[in-house]
Structure 1
């Protein structure tokens, strides 16, 4: 095959295509050219600032798939009217010759496919060329991280989350008390949790004349914002993010659904659970331990962490008083969680929280050999995890008489 079967972008355009922030509309997906007997789809290339594609990589006799995300371009070609289509062999041979001149690394090839990457100045450009004679599909991804473009909250946004700049909010729907369902990934299983409280729902659509963002771009932006708020991501897939966070002492659940031309935000602000009005007194703790051998405490930790909050100090002080009043008493401090999230994660969190309580007691002057700690995660619930109050009751630390 002759190299002039290909239309080259030219050296200057090639360098610019790899380094500039976006592909130019109406052109080939740089740095790949096009065959002169084929015409690009009339709608032009599909362009996204951030999107992913899967690429095959050959390793010995086997192949595996690599997902690459970044600046994305996809363009389809068909034979010009009145021209005979080329064979797949001729199509693939022409593109491989061009790729060789560009210094590309071909990672997978067969009769209808050529896939690989070009590395230049530390920038990876991944490509995929698929052909079936009457159709050529080109996909190019310039690997790069997503850009965080979510705005600050304003207007009809939920008070903690902004919006994608290319989108406008509809009229929010607010309810003082309502419910929503949230998906939760528990280890290898997916579950649904119904949550009740104050509801806020809002829908976004693209502004007139602007390009919709990819679902990946939308979801990554919201996930970054949620993580910055300290949220625990409970479930994620291509179009969904479900999360739980705590803000000013209130548990907040967030659901984000996208399909490029639509973004739906659903929020439930759970009513705070008050386990007791007053701090349990040492004498009451002693009575419960003598009667049942264990007693539950509701000690406040930072959300999703094992760090004791300052308002936990009065409860710790009463446990210290209990142990000082009964110098022969030995306790196992045992942590428990609700069942939202990964079992292994919750087990570790419960262990760490129990250990934090032990550390606080030792710091207050209790001998370490009188104390031990354990964590049971969600395995020993005392209430129904399907309700907010039940989940709050299950998030506890127990004193167990040894």
Structure 2
């Protein structure tokens, strides 16, 4: 009878309930002839969670967002990153864990003529946060493996106040406030500067609604143009079902006002070849014009032009801004 021994080698966690980015179970099979084979099964890690129920609420007066006045002699180095809704990563049991809400991120330095003091900054933060009921969650450094796992998930890597690099010391606090809700604060500091992140936890609120003919007509009447985000197949001029729904609303607009004439203008971001982008934007504008003509809109009421990346709404310096620049504009042409 063959003798088969199963030996399981399990990685030991760094902390009691920490999960590494990938958890591997290695099975060694020892056969009768003395040879062995190995089988490795990789399972996705479960993101660490913070048990907020163990943190007491505070009723302290913490002022307005971002709730912290900087210590004497410290200023923001550049314009801070401010978002009404975004994501930030905080160290929970050794894992950089994403939290959504209202966000402030800043690089900090000494005011002109003074020297930055790490001790002054750290003591100021620690004592003030303690005085308003903040609870320290972590004072740690993440590993290179953890940085490699999460860094591409963070849309603000390299931006102002970017915290969360391998072996970077991070102090992480949470405030549970009766009125302001849950507030996450983290900072890192050395003898020349500091970085500070504040996030007020906030649920996502959907603000997008279906585009209607009434909205298009109102925008054309008030501003002379309507900015639309019409979906096409990737890198093509073929309308998706959602894109066709928007075109249907444009047709209704033109049917309601028989005198209305419009220019259809296609725009892209600056990614890729400029000539290709211009051709693509022209093809998409023409696709909208053709779809409207198929709905009995007279061709002489429509023109179609593509501008590629020549007329951006915003600087193409982030994925969000690039998405805003990929658009179709309707411009009223009959006065």
TM-score range, shorter chain: 0.3 to 0.5
TM-score, structure 2 as length reference: 0.40
Larger radius of gyration: 1
| Structure number with higher relative contact order (C-alpha < 8 Å, ≥ 6 residues apart) | 2
TM-score, structure 1 as length reference: 0.34
